[in-house]
Copies of this chain bind each other. A is one copy, B any other.
Amino acid sequence: MKLKESNELKQSGLKNTKHRNDVFELIKKSEQPVSAEYIFSELNKNNCPINLSTVYRILDTLCLSDLVTKINIDTENKNLYEYNCMAHRHYMVCLGCDKILTVKNCPLQDYEKQLIDETDFVITGHKLVMYGYCPQCKQQQNN
């Protein structure tokens, strides 16, 4: 069987296995950050039998290679993983349905400079999470 091969895996010096590809592709095509459990059940559902510990080991590997980012949203009690597009990580979490939107633009460059002056930290990154209700859940609340 021909694997759909990921250049990104090779480029990161990772051995190319079916499982790694399956996990990585699933993360890449997901519109929001996903959990290990989700990856596990999604792959098994779609004829790609895989063990849960293998999922965790692959996620570790992908995170170490910076292909994937692990995040933790306060309202969940498990880690989530998403494709690391090397952009800033800004999220909007719907408290109604747990939907997570990833937001693109970043208003924080100036603020970072200011903080560096104030605290003398080196700042290597940041994470911004907005909490609220998405249009659908917002409407339900009004009813």
Task: Indicate if the CB atoms of A126 and B115 lie closer than 8 Å.
Answer: no
Closest chain-B Cβ to A37's Cβ sits at a distance in Å of 16
**Chain A contact residues (Cβ within 8 angstroms of B): what range?**
35 or more
Q: How many copies does the complex hold?
A: 2
A111 within 8 A of B: yes
A115 touches which of B92, B95, B119, B125 (Cβ 8 Å): B92
A64 within 8 A of B: no
Task: Indicate if the CB atoms of A72 and B70 lie closer than 8 Å.
Answer: no
Closest chain-B Cβ to A39's Cβ sits at a distance in Å of 18
Q: Which residues of B contact A133 (CB under 8 A)?
A: 121-122, 124
Q: Which residues of B contact A127 (CB under 8 A)?
A: 74, 127-129, 131
A→B interface (CB under 8 Å): 70-74, 92, 94-95, 101, 103, 107-108, 110-112, 114-115, 119-135, 138
